[in-house]
Amino acid sequence: MDFQRSFNVTSRAAGRSATRIAISFREVGFNLDALAMDPSASGIQEPFDLIRLSLSERVFVKLRGDREVTGILHAYDGHMNLILSDAEETIMIVDTESAPNGQSVVNVAKRKMDMLFVRGDGVILVSPPART
């Protein structure tokens, strides 16, 4: 079943008010018991099939700029734009100037968001949930 979901997105960089984005995506359900070691038996024949099977599941996303996000995947497209809910972003901040002996100090900053739109050109890796 195809349906559309709309989201209000506020651009902090531009200082604009909320912008409305409508995204079409397909509601997908699957049976975990039906998944097998054979990729063709589980319905995974293309890379995006793995993403499709991860809809409504918690995924790990590695982004450019030493950022990582985990959240529940609600939608995606061919550009790897993602809509995540209940998201937590982790940012690795490497400080080379204040460390003694030329060593780097890595600080970790975390923040939580109810809903997040991830632009696809920053996505390096999407890891689906572990299926046991």
Q: Smallest Cα–Cα separation from 94: which of 103, 104, 86?
A: 104
Q: What is the model's pLDDT at position 41?
A: 56
The pLDDT assigned to 57 comes to 95
Distances 5 to 56, 62, 90 between C-alpha atoms, Å:
14, 25, 27
User: Is there a domain that residue 94 lies in?
Assistant: yes
Residue 31 in any domain: the answer is yes
CA 89 to chain CA centroid, Å, is 10
Does residue 132 fall inside a structural domain? no
Task: State residue 42's pLDDT score.
Answer: 63
Q: What is the pLDDT of residues 59-106, one digit of tens each?
A: 999 999 999 999 999 999 999 999 999 999 999 988 877 767 777 888
pLDDT tens sequence across 7-47: 444 444 444 444 444 444 333 333 334 444 455 556 788 88
Asked, for residue 9, whether it belongs to a domain, the answer is yes
> Which residue has tokens 């709309």?
6
Q: What is the pLDDT of residue 74?
A: 96
Q: What is the pLDDT at residue 29?
A: 39
How many domains, the chain? 1
Q: Supply the CATH number for residue 109's domain.
A: 2.30.30.100
For 64, the domain range is 2-127
Return the SS3 of 9: strand
Longest dimension (CA), the chain: 60
8 Å CB contact between 124 and 63? yes
Residue 96 lies in a domain: yes
Q: 79's torsion region: left (phi>0), alpha (psi -120 to 50) or beta?
A: alpha
| pLDDT score recorded for residue 44 | 80
Which CA distances in Å does 50 have to 16, 72, 96, 106, 127? 36, 15, 38, 32, 9
Three-state DSSP state, 52? helix
